[in-house]
Amino acid sequence: MTTQRQAGHAIVVSSGGLDSTTLAYWLQANGTGRLTLLGIDYGQRHRVELSRLTTLAQALDAECVILDLRRLRPVLSGTALIDEQATVPAGHYTDGSMRATVVPNRNALLLDIAVALAISVKADTVAFGAHAGDHPIYPDCRPSFLYAYRRMAAVANEGLTVSGFQVIAPFMDMTKADIVRLGADLGVPFADTWSCYAGGARHCGRCGTCTERKEAFVLARVPDPTDYESPETPCT
Amino acid sequence: MTTQRQAGHAIVVSSGGLDSTTLAYWLQANGTGRLTLLGIDYGQRHRVELSRLTTLAQALDAECVILDLRRLRPVLSGTALIDEQATVPAGHYTDGSMRATVVPNRNALLLDIAVALAISVKADTVAFGAHAGDHPIYPDCRPSFLYAYRRMAAVANEGLTVSGFQVIAPFMDMTKADIVRLGADLGVPFADTWSCYAGGARHCGRCGTCTERKEAFVLARVPDPTDYESPETPCT
């Protein structure tokens, strides 16, 4: 993990999941004075994740902004994360079938909303939780995306951002198991975070992201407090 | 104007204004087989412009998608284009006071939605109407922004866009007077387009964008059909 200069006020692109929650804890532990968790409902089936944000924000003494942008659904159609008719693929998160869970242009959109908010409230950091495990499936989680995004946002908002403004993804080179280990050290309330893509009331334990979550706890040798419908331990 | 390879289906980021409407006519005249006008209500005071889109789309035999994203208002606050309490500056559109009309990160956000829609419907072009007159005030209308945005979008959506996908801004090096001349040649129904930022039922004739519109018609030597509250001709 690269050591980043810590700043006064960070907007954290937050899903209520394990990665973005650990990111918020990490920012606070590294001296960020003010945190805003930004959750965006773009019509994802697993919007239950957003209901976790208020609880997580309270535990962190952070602000919480949840935006209802479900009107974006028709624009983002054709992905299993949004389309109620499509099947969320079960299996390993590195399988080719997981491409059905790619939402077109999602991270650029989420980051652009976060950057606009940062400019409006004069925050100096936007942070998001992309990590190395995302790279094979999600093109907008790769380091090359982060670099291209930073350049674009700097040009688009020249003269508008506060001095030292930065877009960071401190977990970019870490695995999810690394994040679980870090989160355990930081006291992240893992049981309050949400990963499952299937849209049920409990973690299904079968979809790609449940599989990834289970595997990360096993590899990190950290007890997994998640309440899965299918709790079998994955082969790692 | 750079000659662009014309494509099958273009998503046009449309405000109902003079520039984006002329752009749609230009795309059609240059062989684009299918057009979708994408209008986004992000809480702008001048959302009357969007009501023109349906009429303009009918005249072009184009599809029309208008998204109500007014929930973005709190994120984009602090600009006179959205804040009902702020004063929309009168005067010349090159004045420093026009910086009050800058919406943070707006064009990246609008383009992101257009790119996501293009991926969903397998369109091969996203077009927006930035022109040379915008450059001094709006950092996200400059050529450097276009280049950085293209790079970012290509990395973010690698493997998702159709072959030959492009983000274009064919008027980037033209003045608004050039666009009026081009629009007159193409038969654009200028009277049906909307420019005013003030949010009234008629063009105010005093705000920066009304001043720019008036001046463009004078410089282009094209009759201005706009119904202004203050119809005095600007000094050019």
Whether residue A157 and residue B76 make contact (CB cut-off 8 A), yes or no, is no
Whether residue A108 and residue B153 make contact (CB cut-off 8 A), yes or no, is yes
From A229's Cα to the closest Cα of chain B, the distance in A is 32
Contacts of B140 (CB under 8 A, 6+ apart): A155, A156, A157, B105, B106, B107, B108, B130
* pLDDT for residue A18: 94
pLDDT tens, N- to C-terminus, chain B (236 residues): 444 445 599 999 998 899 999 999 999 999 999 999 999 888 766 666 777 898 999 999 999 998 888 888 777 765 444 455 555 556 665 666 555 556 788 899 999 999 999 998 999 999 999 999 877 778 889 999 999 999 999 999 999 999 999 999 999 999 999 999 999 999 999 999 988 877 788 899 988 889 999 999 999 999 999 999 987 766 55
Whether residue A116 and residue B109 make contact (CB cut-off 8 A), yes or no, is yes
- At which residue do the structure tokens 């993804």 appear? A169
* pLDDT for residue A148: 97
Residues in chain A closer than 8 A to B113 (CB atoms): 72, 75, 109
CB count, 10 Å around CB of A83? 16
- pLDDT band with cut points at 50, 70 and 90 for residue A165: very high
* pLDDT for residue B102: 63
Tokens of A55: 């609880």
Tokens of B55: 């009429």
Is A53 in a helix, a strand, or coil?
Answer: helix
* pLDDT for residue A218: 95
Q: For every residue of chain B, which 3-state class applies, written as one string?
A: CCCCCCCCEEEEECCCCHHHHHHHHHHHHCCCCEEEEEEEECCCCCCHHHHHHHHHHHHHCCEEEEEECHHHCCCCCCCCCCCCCCCCCECCCCCHHHHHHCCCCHHHHHHHHHHHHHHHHCCCEEECCCCHHHCCCCHHHCHHHHHHHHHHHHHHCCCCCCCCCEEECCCCCCCHHHHHHHHHHHCCCHHHCCCCCCCCCCECCCEHHHHHHHHHHHHHCCCCCCCECCCCCCCC
- At which residue do the structure tokens 């600009």 appear? B79
* pLDDT for residue A84: 54
* pLDDT for residue B2: 45
Nearest to B215 by CA among B55, B50, B96, B92: B92
CB count, 10 Å around CB of B85? 5
* pLDDT for residue B87: 56
Q: What is the pLDDT of residues A114-153, one digit of tens each?
A: 999 999 899 999 999 999 987 777 888 999 999 999 999 9
Task: State the ipTM, two decimals.
Answer: 0.84
Residues in chain B closer than 8 A to A149 (CB atoms): 152, 156
Distance between CA atoms of residues A18 and A220, nearest Å: 14
Mutation pick from A40, A72, A117, A155 vs chain B, by most beta carbons of B within 10 Å, is A155
With an 8 Å Cβ cutoff, the interface of chain A facing chain B consists of 65, 67-69, 71-72, 74-78, 102-109, 112-113, 115-117, 119-120, 139-140, 142, 144-145, 148-149, 151-160
Contacts of B185 (CB under 8 A, 6+ apart): none
User: Under CATH, domain B8-220 is a member of which superfamily?
Assistant: HUPs (3.40.50.620)
Distance between CA atoms of residues B11 and B127, nearest Å: 6
Q: What is the pLDDT of residues A181-220, one digit of tens each?
A: 999 999 999 999 988 877 788 899 988 889 999 999 999 9
CA dihedral sign, ordered A217, A35, A192, A104: negative
Nearest to A14 by CA among A149, A184, A194, A166: A194
Write down the domain spans for chain B: 8-220
Nearest CB partner across the interface for B155, out of A68, A119, A144: A144
Q: Which residues pair with A207 in a beta bridge?
A: A90
A5 pLDDT above the threshold of 50: no
* pLDDT for residue A88: 54
Nearest CB partner across the interface for B75, out of A106, A116, A148: A116
Rounded to two decimals, the pTM is 0.86
More confident position, B173 or A94 = B173
Name the DSSP class of A16: S
Nearest CB partner across the interface for B77, out of A120, A139, A148: A120
Determine whether B135 is exposed, middle or buried from the number of CB atoms within 10 Å of its CB (0-12, 13-18, 19+): middle
* pLDDT for residue B80: 46
Asked if residue A210 belongs to a known ligand binding site, the reply is yes
Rounded mean pLDDT of A170-190?
97
Distance between CA atoms of residues A40 and B66, nearest Å: 20
* pLDDT for residue A104: 82
* pLDDT for residue B105: 86
Q: What is the pLDDT of residues A7-39, one digit of tens each?
A: 599 999 998 899 999 999 999 999 999 999 999
A82 pLDDT above the threshold of 50: no
* pLDDT for residue B167: 98
From B122's Cα to the closest Cα of chain A, the distance in A is 11
A81 pLDDT above the threshold of 80: no
